[in-house]
């Protein structure tokens, strides 16, 4: 059980970096994704492409990458009046949070992931939550993840480890981590085939990847890429 991991894999930059991180460490790695009616559902279309291509990048990654699981959670989107699940403008509320925040999303994702990991005999659950360079979502905070780990272990009488390799690094360091894990092939894969843009825009390929370039996710990704490239020249 200790050598297996389940990665929350959306098809975005962060989750693809986390998948590479897990493949570099564990003998058996499975992935889980969630279709909750997200506006940027195109990210789910990229998952199979990414899983297929990432196999050839790292030593033993092909042998380590196991089954994929895609769960439908339409009710989450149905009760969520957010810019992530509705075609409305992205704005910031009185708490300083963007209206792309889907209340309870990561809590629900982790609960379903743990239920699957329990059945599949996987101890490590890996997610791309980050508190350093993110959109201000409270369910991405380290304290939230630690509380969820305690609750899941109590509720399932298990010993899950919720791992968040991106928690304390910014987007520039996330690009650097991808290069460290898989070199130029992984970086190129993330640029060309992952999807992060909240409004689901693929469009032209920028130097940092596809996206509208204006939403919070695109800005974080583009700014991090620019900072990473600048650090390489220094």
Q: Would you say 111 and 149 are in contact if contact means Cβ atoms under 8 Å apart?
A: no
Asked if residue 98 belongs to a domain, the reply is yes
How many other β-carbons are positioned within 10 Å of the β-carbon of residue 231?
12
How confident is the model over 163-199, as pLDDT tens digits? 999 999 999 999 999 999 999 999 999 999 999 898 8
Cα 206 to chain centroid, rounded? 20
Domain count, the chain: 1
**Exposure on the CB side of residue 119, measured as CA atoms within 13 A:** 7
Of the chain, the percentage scoring pLDDT greater than 90 comes to 68
Beta partners for residue 71, in sequence order: 34
Q: What is the dihedral of CA 168, 30, 44, 76, to 10 degrees?
A: -80
Its domain, for residue 40, covers: 4-189
Range 196-211 average pLDDT? 91
Q: Flag whether 202 is in a domain.
A: no
Q: Would 223 be classed as within a structural domain?
A: no
- Beta carbons of 127 and 91 less than 8 angstroms apart: no
Give me the mean pLDDT over the 106-113 stretch.
94
72 occurs within a structural domain = yes
pLDDT band at 86 (very low <50, low <70, confident <90, very high): low
For residue 224, is it within any domain? no
pTM, 2 dp: 0.91
Q: Domain with 103 in it: what CATH number? A: 3.40.50.620
Angle of helix 142-156 versus helix 105-120 axis, rounded to 10:
40
The Cα 173–Cα 59 span in angstroms is: 23
Distance, in Å, from the CA atom of 139 to the CA atom of 129, rounded to the nearest integer, reads: 8
pLDDT tens readout for residues 91-105:
566 666 766 676 678
Query: Using one digit for the tens of pLDDT, what is the confidence trace for 40-75?
Result: 778 889 999 999 999 999 999 999 999 999 999 887
Q: Is residue 218 part of a domain?
A: no
Q: Is residue 210 part of a domain?
A: no
Is 50 within 8 Å of 193 (Cβ atoms)? Answer: yes
Could you tell me the pLDDT band of residue 125, with boundaries at 50, 70 and 90?
Answer: very high
Task: Look at residue 116 in the predicted model and tell me its pLDDT.
Answer: 98
| 71, containing H or E segment | strand 65-72
pLDDT value of position 181: 98
Give the chain's length. Answer: 234
- Helices 171-193, 13-23: axis angle to 10 degrees equals 100
With 70 as the cut, is the pLDDT of residue 135 above it?
A: no
Q: What span, in angstroms and rounded, lies between the C-alpha atoms of 24 and 58?
A: 7
- The pLDDT of residue 89 is 65
Cα–Cα distance measured from residue 163 to residue 45, given in angstroms and rounded to the nearest whole number: 25
Is residue 115 scored above 70 in pLDDT? yes
- pLDDT of amino acid 1: 45
Given a cut of 80, is residue 157 above it in pLDDT? Answer: yes
**196 within a domain of the structure (yes/no):** no
């Amino acid at each position: 059980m200790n050598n297996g991991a389940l990665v929350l894999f959306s098809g975005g930059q962060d989750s693809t970096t986390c998948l590479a991180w897990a493949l570099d460490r564990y003998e058996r790695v499975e992935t889980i994704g969630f279709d909750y009616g997200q506006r940027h559902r195109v990210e789910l279309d990229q998952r199979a492409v990414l899983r297929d291509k990432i196999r050839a990048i790292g030593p033993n990654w092909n042998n380590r990458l196991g089954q994929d699981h895609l769960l439908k959670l339409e009710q989450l989107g149905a009760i969520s009046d957010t810019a992530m699940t509705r075609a409305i403008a992205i704005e910031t509320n009185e708490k300083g949070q963007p209206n792309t925040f889907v209340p309870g999303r990561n809590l629900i994702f982790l609960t379903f992931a743990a239920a699957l990991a329990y059945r599949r005999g996987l101890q490590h659950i890996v997610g791309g939550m980050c508190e350093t360079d993110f959109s201000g979502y409270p369910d991405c905070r380290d304290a939230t993840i630690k509380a969820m780990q305690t609750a899941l272990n109590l509720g399932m009488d298990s010993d899950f480890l919720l791992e968040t390799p991106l928690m304390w690094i910014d987007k520039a360091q996330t690009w650097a981590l991808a290069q460290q894990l898989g070199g130029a092939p992984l970086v190129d894969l993330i640029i060309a085939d992952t999807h992060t843009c909240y409004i689901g825009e693929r469009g032209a390929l920028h130097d940092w990847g596809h996206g509208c370039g204006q939403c919070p996710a695109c800005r974080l990704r583009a700014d991090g890429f620019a900072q990473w490239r600048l650090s390489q020249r220094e």
